[in-house]
């Protein structure tokens, strides 16, 4: 098992923990729990008491709402290094407002809400640093929302491919989907059938070639042209 000091970089790179002093971070780590969970397992739901928040070390987590008619709406896909369920610290609620399941075998760091809030109450300077960090994060998230909702499903998919592709050979790229296609579609606010049609259309236009969860991009410059137009 990893020693706790080995998690320092993950925590210090995060906007929530980067506001803490070394002494404060050490105090938080003493109460930290390391949780390992298999894929496709629940972490919490809307009936769970909201007394802890989490940082994902490895794996992938799905945050979602499940409605009475059985419809599931994915709110966010959490990837390594990201914090989730931290907002409940500042909300007057008893239970988590969303559910969380692991999409892959995952390792989480779990933190006590009351202890973290206690640190913030004792240090106005830490609060101000944290607010500044969270403000920057919110600005980035609003930019992402603008990208999603001001564009058609076709454009959203093009934008997603452009942002996630890796150049493998000169002007050739590849995108490896780290989640099932239905999950990616939901995260882009696209219906699964619309997502499939968009992939098919891009394939017919010779912009991509789909091979399972790998999407090959034979001409990166051409794809970028369609993204920018």
User: What is the pLDDT, as a whole number, of residue 3?
Assistant: 56
169 SS3 class = strand
Are 4-148 and 151-228 the same fold in CATH?
A: no
Residue pointed to by tokens 């640190």? 119
User: What is the pLDDT, as a whole number, of residue 151?
Assistant: 59
User: What is the pLDDT, as a whole number, of residue 149?
Assistant: 52
User: What is the pLDDT, as a whole number, of residue 154?
Assistant: 83
User: What is the pLDDT, as a whole number, of residue 166?
Assistant: 92
User: What is the pLDDT, as a whole number, of residue 43?
Assistant: 97
Residues of the chain short of pLDDT 50, as ranges, are 1, 150
Cα–Cα–Cα angle for 85, 68, 43, nearest 5°? 30
The domain segmentation of the chain, as residue ranges, is 4-148, 151-228
CATH of 151-228, one of 1.10.600.10, 3.40.640.10, 1.25.40.10, 1.10.10.10: 1.10.10.10
**What angle separates helix 153-164 from helix 192-204, to the nearest 10 degrees?**
70
First to last CA, the chain: 49
159 sits in which H/E element: helix 153-164
User: What is the pLDDT, as a whole number, of residue 145?
Assistant: 60
Question: Which of 122, 112, 126, 113 has the alpha carbon at shortest distance from 31?
Answer: 112
User: What is the pLDDT, as a whole number, of residue 219?
Assistant: 92
What CATH superfamily is the domain 4-148? Jelly Rolls (2.60.120.10)
Q: How much is the pTM?
A: 0.64
Q: How far apart (Å, rounded) are the C-alpha atoms in residues 64 and 66?
A: 7
């Amino acid at each position: 098992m990893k020693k706790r000091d080995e998690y320092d970089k993950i925590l210090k790179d995060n906007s929530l923990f980067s506001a803490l002093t070394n002494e404060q971070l050490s105090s938080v780590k003493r109460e930290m729990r390391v949780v390992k969970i298999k894929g496709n397992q629940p972490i919490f739901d809307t009936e769970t008491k909201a007394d802890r928040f989490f940082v994902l070390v490895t794996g992938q987590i799905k945050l979602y709402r499940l409605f009475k008619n059985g419809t599931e709406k994915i709110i966010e896909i959490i990837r390594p290094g990201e914090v989730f369920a931290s907002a409940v610290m500042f909300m007057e609620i008893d239970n988590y407002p969303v559910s969380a399941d692991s999409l892959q075998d995952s390792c989480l760091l779990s933190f006590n809400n009351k202890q973290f809030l206690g640190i913030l109450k004792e240090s106005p300077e830490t609060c101000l640093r944290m607010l500044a960090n969270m403000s920057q994060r919110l600005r980035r998230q609003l930019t992402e929302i603008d990208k999603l909702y001001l564009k058609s499903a076709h454009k959203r998919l093009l934008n997603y491919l452009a942002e996630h592709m890796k150049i493998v050979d000169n002007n050739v790229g590849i995108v490896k989907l780290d989640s099932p296609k239905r999950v990616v579609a939901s995260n882009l606010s696209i219906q699964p059938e619309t997502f499939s049609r968009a992939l098919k259309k891009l394939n017919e236009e010779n912009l991509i070639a789909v091979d399972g969860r790998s999407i090959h991009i034979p001409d990166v410059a051409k794809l970028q042209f369609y993204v920018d137009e």
